[in-house]
Structure 1
Amino acid sequence: MNYVYILKCSDNTLYTGWTTSLEKRLKAHNSGKGAKYTKPRLPVEIVYFEEFQDKKDAMKREYAIKQLSREEKLNLISGFTKEIHS
């Protein structure tokens, strides 16, 4: 499975990425081994994600989300209730 996710950083900024494992990626971000953007903004939490069978589709969606304004991203996040499962 491939995932597109949005992180909320400790400074309340948002970061969007994609991964094949939400749990591993979250651990990597919070241990300082994630994206350069998130390193000085720890800790981070996943506040939104979508699942995709195909990596290409996940990457296209990641790009689309990155083009959204902050307000549009917050609207996407609002009401999101899925939980990460192992």
Structure 2
Amino acid sequence: MSWFLYLLECNNGAYYAGITNDLDARFAAHVSGKGARYTRANPPIKIIASKPYLDRSGASIAEAQLKSLPRHKKLQYFDE
């Protein structure tokens, strides 16, 4: 089973990062208001990037690294 690090663009222009093992279902949960508290208040517009990982541990580490970056470097993280 693969895990994914993903980056959403929200309706307020902000980015939201998370991990999941089912990207389509997780995005649908965010859109319907059943995802994270942040995306309930700021619904996502689209998935702007995603990257697969072999396991949850790897995806969690990548999520922490991504969240520590300034906004202008977040998309570049997915090219590495």
TM-score by length of structure 2 reads: 0.89
Report which of the two has the higher share of helix: 2
Deviations 1:2-54 (A, max 9, x none): 00000000111000000000000000000000010111212431100110111
Q: Which blocks of at least 5 consecutive residues in structure 1 are unaligned?
A: 81-86
Q: 1:49 corresponds to which residue?
A: 50
The residue identity in structure 2 corresponding to 1:53 is: L
Count of aligned pairs: 78
Q: Is the 8 A contact 2:49 2:75 kept in 1?
A: no
**What is the alpha-carbon root mean square deviation over aligned residues?**
1.5
Gaps of 5+ in 2: none
- Structure-2 separation of matches of 1:14 and 1:43: 9
Name the structure where strand makes up a greater proportion of residues: 2
Q: Does 1:69 align with 2:35?
A: no
Segments of 4+ in structure 1 off by > 4 A? Answer: none
Give the TM-score normalised by structure 1: 0.83
